[in-house]
Amino acid sequence: MTVAQRVQRVRARLSGADVLLVSDLTNVRWLTGFTGSNGWVVIGPDSMTLVTDGRYGQQAAAQLAAAGVEADVLVGATGAATLEHIAATCAPFATVGFEATSVTYAQHGQYRAALTATLVPTSGVVEAERRIKDSDEIESIARACRIADAVLAEVVPSLGDGLTEAQVRNRLELRMRELGASGPSYDTIVATGPINAALPHHRPTDTLIEPGHTVIIDVGALVDGYHSDMTRTFVVGAPTALQTKLYELVLTAQRAGVAAVAAGMSVKELDGVCRGIIADAGYGDWFTHGTGHGVGLLIHEDPFVNRAGDAILQVGDVVTVEPGVYREGFGGVRVEDLVVVTSDGCRVLTASPKDSPCLPSPPTT
């Protein structure tokens, strides 16, 4: 599967419109390799056209060529000129599908005024194909996972050294870049102690990491535009009975989730595997978020793995499995791996140790 073949997958899925006007920039990138901040793709029955503005003409041609994608590139000097290019490209067709969940009301009004075709709202056409990763995409994500594994291994020995959350975050993000990531995959989470670790999306502060704390580190790298995502939880010093109990509970739930992943399974069912174990132990109220989400060119994308979802896992889905428990006064525990769904279960892309929350013992002097 190559980038150039993706458009054919989308064509096969399009119904109810002669052409598809793709305006979501992540979808544009996935279809063409083009990474500019301004672009539209018009997918016709036998053709593909990329429209962008004057800043990006050269870049677009170069990136399409690098991706092996054949498409006409039309460059407009102004917003009005790009809209005219879109209109001219769509002119031979009676119906034009547009992306109703990303096109704004105002943009829709502009399309309606400029295009002669009937506009047909569509939802998730490209996204439905984009969630299925090909081997190159999986390799980029796996590389990102390896970088995050490496930087986490570097900082773990220092977690008992009296650093702040922000210092650990700074070190992780710097080292990911030095190891070849184009950046962090998202704002790295370092959350320590009874207050901060109880917030699933805590932002690192100057809070000191101290003995007795649970420390949640949620870190990923960005490689070739693809994201990784992983969480590990640590305890500074000897764990309390409750810390040990909840760590083992979350780890059991997380391992059961990973073991359950299978093509054809509903996301609701996968969520239920992790949630059931935690609820059966009496901590259902402490698990305050979904079990996971898809990861790719976006850090959060289809399929979302939660109680309300109706998606079915497919071979090539890359999803997180990340149950957690949180309570102010206790702190929190989350264990997260990134997996790719295969024909016989899944392959786990993240490899950091998770057997125990205990930090390495300090070297004996």
Chain residues binding a copy of itself by CB under 8 A are 55, 78, 98, 100-106, 108-109, 121, 123, 166, 169-170, 173-174, 177-178, 182-183, 187, 200-201, 203, 288-289, 308
CB of 289 to a copy of itself, least distance (A): 8
Per this entry, what is the length of the chain? 365
**Residue 101 or 356 with smaller CB distance to a copy of itself:** 101
Q: Which amino acid is at 107?
A: Q
Smallest distance, a copy of itself to C-beta of residue 288, A: 8
Question: Is 226:215 a contact under the CB 8 Å cutoff?
Answer: no
Distance CA 228, CA 87 (A): 38
In the complex with a copy of itself, which residue's Cβ is closer, 42 or 120?
Answer: 120
Rounded Cα–Cα distance for residues 108 and 137 (Å): 32
The tokens for 104 are 């704004």
Between 80 and 238, name the residue whose CB sits nearer to a copy of itself. 80
**Distance in Å, CB of 203 to a copy of itself, minimum:** 8
Q: In angstroms, rounded to a whole number, what is the distance separating the alpha carbons of residues 82 and 99? A: 18
Q: How far is the CB of 297 from a copy of itself (least distance, A)?
A: 16
Look at residues 128, 202, 198 and name the one whose alpha carbon lies nearest to residue 165.
202
* CB closer to a copy of itself out of 16 and 183: 183
Task: Find all residues with CB under 8 Å of 232, minimum gap 6, and list them.
Answer: 152, 216, 217, 335, 336, 352, 353, 354
Q: Quick one: which H or E segment has residue 333?
A: strand 331-334
Q: How far is the CB of 55 from a copy of itself (least distance, A)?
A: 8
Q: Quickly count: other Cβ atoms within 10 Å of residue 194's Cβ.
A: 15
Q: Which is nearer to a copy of itself, 206 or 344 (CB)?
A: 206
CB of 105 to a copy of itself, least distance (A): 4
Cβ at position 344, least distance to a copy of itself in Å: 35
Nearer to a copy of itself, 54 or 264 (CB): 54
Report the nearest approach of a copy of itself to the CB of residue 106 (Å).
4
Listed residue (119, 128, 31) closest to 70, CA to CA: 31
Which of 39/357 has CB closer to a copy of itself? 39
Q: What span, in angstroms and rounded, lies between the C-alpha atoms of 241 and 252?
A: 16
Asked if residue 303 has a cis previous peptide bond (ω within 30° of 0), the answer is yes
Residue 192 contacts residue 213 (beta carbons within 8 Å): yes
Provide, rounded to whole angstroms, the least separation between the CB of residue 291 and a copy of itself. Answer: 16
Buried b (16+ CB within 10 A) or exposed e, 140-150: bbbbbbbbbbb
Residue 344's contacts (CB-CB under 8 Å, 6 or more residues apart) are none
Structure-block tokens of residue 359: 């930090």
Closest to a copy of itself by CB, 11 vs 289, is: 289
Contact 49, 83 (CB under 8 A): no
Nearer to a copy of itself, 78 or 356 (CB): 78
